[in-house]
Chain A
Amino acid sequence: MKALQELARKLLEDKTVSVVIGYEEGPHGVRPAFITKPDQADRLIFDPRCVHNLATFLSPRRSHLVTLGKKAVVVKGCDARAVAGLVRETQIKREDVVVIGVRCGGVTGDPMGDGKLTEKNVAPRCAVCDVREPKLADHLVGELPPAPPTPKGPDMVAKLDAMTPEERWAFWQKELERCVRCHACREVCPMCFCERCIADKSMPQWIESSAHPRANLSWQMTRVLHMAGRCVGCGECVRACPANIPLGLILKKVAAVVEERYGYRVSDDPSVPAPIGTYRLDDKQEFIL
Chain B
Amino acid sequence: MSATTTSEAKGFQPRIVAFVCNWCTYTGADLAGTSRLQMASIVRIIRLPCTGRIDPLFIIKAFERGADGVIVSGCHPADCHYTAGNYHARRRFAVAREIFDFMGIDPRRITFSWVSASEGGKWAEVVNDTTARVRELGPFTAYREMAARTA
What CA separation (Å) do A214 and B105 show in the bound complex? 13
Of residues 97 through 124 on chain B, the ones whose CB sits less than 8 Å from some CB of chain A are: 97-107, 111-114
Could you say which residues of chain A place their CB within 8 Å of the CB of B84?
279
Q: Which of B87, B98, B107 contacts A279 (CB 8 A)?
A: B87
Contact with B along A263-280 (1 / 0, CB 8 A): 000000000000111111
Q: Is the interface of B mostly helix, strand, loop or mixed?
A: helix
Q: Which of A160, A206, A212, A213 contacts B57 (CB 8 A)?
A: A206
- Contact A165 to B99, CB < 8 A, known contacts A198-B57, A221-B60: no
On whether the beta carbons of A287 and B102 are closer than 8 Å, the reply is: no
On whether the beta carbons of A213 and B146 are closer than 8 Å, the reply is: yes
Shortest B136–chain A CB gap in Å is 14
On whether the beta carbons of A285 and B95 are closer than 8 Å, the reply is: no
What CA separation (Å) do A287 and B91 show in the bound complex? 11
What CA separation (Å) do A275 and B91 show in the bound complex? 8
On whether the beta carbons of A279 and B103 are closer than 8 Å, the reply is: no
On whether the beta carbons of B94 and A287 are closer than 8 Å, the reply is: yes
Shortest B44–chain A CB gap in Å is 18
Could you say which residues of chain B place their CB within 8 Å of the CB of A218?
57, 60-61, 64
Shortest A36–chain B CB gap in Å is 41
| Residues of chain B at interface, number, CB under 8 A | 38
Give the one of B88, B94, B100, B107 with max A CB within 10 A. Answer: B94
- Contact A214 to B97, CB < 8 A, known contacts A172-B104, A279-B88: no
On whether the beta carbons of A169 and B94 are closer than 8 Å, the reply is: no
- Contact A276 to B92, CB < 8 A, known contacts A169-B142, A214-B146: yes
| Closest B residue to A289 using CB positions | B113
Q: Is A284 an interface residue (CB 8 A)?
A: yes
Shortest A201–chain B CB gap in Å is 11
Could you say which residues of chain B place their CB within 8 Å of the CB of A254?
95, 98-99
On whether the beta carbons of B105 and A261 are closer than 8 Å, the reply is: no
What CA separation (Å) do A160 and B98 show in the bound complex? 12
What CA separation (Å) do A261 and B94 show in the bound complex? 8
Could you say which residues of chain A place their CB within 8 Å of the CB of B142?
166, 169
Shortest A87–chain B CB gap in Å is 22
Shortest A162–chain B CB gap in Å is 12
- Contact A284 to B149, CB < 8 A, known contacts A166-B104, A225-B56: no
Q: Which of A166, A214, A262, A287 contacts B147 (CB 8 A)?
A: A214
| Closest A residue to B59 using CB positions | A221
Could you say which residues of chain B place their CB within 8 Å of the CB of A288?
90, 112-114
Q: Is A112 an interface residue (CB 8 A)?
A: no
Shortest B21–chain A CB gap in Å is 13
What CA separation (Å) do A216 and B96 show in the bound complex? 17
Of residues 54 through 68 on chain B, the ones whose CB sits less than 8 Å from some CB of chain A are: 56-57, 60-61, 64
Shortest A203–chain B CB gap in Å is 15
Could you say which residues of chain A place their CB within 8 Å of the CB of B98?
253-254, 257
Q: What would be 8 A-B contacts, judged by CB atoms less than 8 Å apart?
A: A213-B149, A214-B146, A222-B56, A275-B91, A276-B95, A283-B94, A289-B111, A289-B129
Residues of A within 8 A of B (CB): 160-161, 165-173, 198, 206-207, 212-214, 217-218, 221-222, 224-225, 228-229, 250, 253-254, 257-258, 261-262, 275-281, 283-285, 287-289
